Structure 1
Amino acid sequence: MPWKLEHVGERKESRVVLALDYFKGGDPLAYWTHLLGRTAHLLAGVKIGLPAFMRAGPTGVASLIEGYRDDLYFLADFKLADIGDIVSEELSLLEALGFDGAIVHLFPRCLSKVPAVSLNVFGLVSMTCPNSLVDAHFQELLDYASELGLRGLVVAATKPSAIRAARERLREAVILSPGVGVQGAPPASALRAGADFEIVGRSVVLAEDPLSELERIVEAQRVVLRGG
């Protein structure tokens, strides 16, 4: 069964998940609310990391999610890394806040199965850092993701060969690729390598004209989605 993220992406013909880690002065929650009001029609999802969570707090994040629950997919990016029982508890708490999905680190190898929660679990197998120790164990992490039966993966957009390998290894996976924009990966490059969605942050959130920048990225994606 397709996930909500896939449904929203198809409906909007967008593969952008917008990372709300930064803001441009003033009240961060007010800025992000205004930004989503202008750009939600071009977004498949929103990624909320620890910086945004600490700035807005649980109540603010829950309010933001509630305002766009029907129109956007909300991804919790806290890269959970602990024993299985703790990760399961953390996922349950994130689910209660309204998140649709969450990213977990796989390197602890503490999960014996995917936790029994309704939100989607994405296993991180590759990071944008050039010399990441995570990537040094890329194949092992892919194997572990396969053992768990994970359907969601996070693979760096800056490492297209890793995306291709992940797609070959787990053909049915929903692959999210961070690193488009400021970190160096061109828009739509991760899609061309086999990813399903691209995570974009500062190049849109801190842009002089976020809407125009997002339109440029989505148009590049649509060329790929239409077979160009």
Structure 2
Amino acid sequence: MPAPISPRDRLIVALDMASTDEAERLIDRIGDAAGFYKIGYRLGYAGGLGLAERLARAGLKVFLDLKLHDIGNTVEEGVQSLEGLGATFLTVHAYPQTMRAALSGRDAVGGRLRILAVTVLTSYDDADAREAGFALPVADLVALRAEAARRIGIDGIVCAAAEAARVRALIGPDRLIVTPGIRPAGAATGDQKRVMTPAEAVRAGVDHVVVGRPITGAADPRDAAQRIVAEMADVD
């Protein structure tokens, strides 16, 4: 069985902002209330990869949410380049060729980066999936991709918390489930369509929750992070 995860380590704060200066100010304000940060497209393209390396060197954990998806060789070489930053997680889209290439790139350099497969974005509902050309409802598409990821040997799954229990049954206890679209009770859902509270997510079998605006937009980000961690601790 995997080692227990502390409530503080379950929380991943999304640094969805425009500059590394802004991100570093937020990290300073949060202090020791959190120790795991997500860097996605917006910040990644604005110097965020260098920040990722600095955070890792400082002993913080980094989730590179870059959602790689390209021809196999490009994904493989991209993962090899990212391995040296010291990040903990990296996302790729849950297409079989992409997942295999990501694992091959990581293993070729003896890396420790854990590869997470993004099943279906949490901003999608069934209507969005149909518009994109998928015949399956979102929940079934998530299950199909999670099962493929398990067979390929991916380290973890990114899905909405609403699908977590079904995904856990498919992938077993040894792989991670990471969920965005987490909103504390009473928080606005924004552009997310499949959301849960932090406590609900942990009860559903989620290992890590990704929280952005409820923390980054709070008057006191440290307090907001502490409240989320406390909510999850009550479940543990």
Q: TM-score range by the shorter chain?
A: 0.7 to 0.9
Residues 121, 81 of structure 1: CA spacing in aligned structure 2 closer, same or farther, 3 A cutoff?
A: same
Answer yes or no: is the 8 Å Cα contact 1:14–1:221 preserved in 2: no
1:110 deviation in Å? Answer: 4.2
Per-residue displacement from partner, 1:12-33 (whole Å, max 9, x unpaired)? 644111111136xxxx322211
TM-score (norm: length of structure 1): 0.81
2:216 to 205, 211, 220: 205
Match of residue 20 from structure 1: 15
Alignment of 1:177-216 (within 5 A): 177-181=179-183, 182=189, 183=192, 184-216=195-227
Contact conserved, 1:188 with 1:198, CA < 8 A, in 2? no
Q: List aligned pairs for 1:131-150, cutoff 5 A.
A: 131=126, 132-133=128-129, 135=138, 136-150=140-154
**Which sections of structure 2, spanning at least 5 residues, go unmatched?**
184-188
Alignment of 1:21-40 (within 5 A): 21-22=16-17, 28-40=19-31
Structure 1: 5+ residue stretches without partners: none
Q: C-alpha deviations, 1:66-121, integer Å up to 9, x for none?
A: 24535321111111111221111111122223322200001364444622412110
| Distance change in 2, residues 1:111/1:204 (3 Å) | closer
Secondary structure of 1:32's match? helix
RMSD (Å), alpha carbons: 2.4
CA distance in 2, matches of 1:13, 1:97: 23
Q: How many residues align?
A: 210
What TM-score does the superposition give when structure 2 sets the normalisation length? 0.79
Alignment of 1:1-228 (within 5 A): 9-10=5-6, 13-22=8-17, 28-55=19-46, 57=47, 61-107=49-95, 109-112=97-100, 114-117=103-106, 118=111, 119-128=113-122, 129-131=124-126, 132-133=128-129, 135=138, 136-157=140-161, 160=162, 162-171=163-172, 172-181=174-183, 182=189, 183=192, 184-225=195-236
Measured against aligned partners, the alpha-carbon deviations of 1:142-180 in whole angstroms (never above 9, x if no partner) come to 2210221112111113xx2x1001111111111101001
Between the two proteins, what is the percent identity of the paired residues?
29
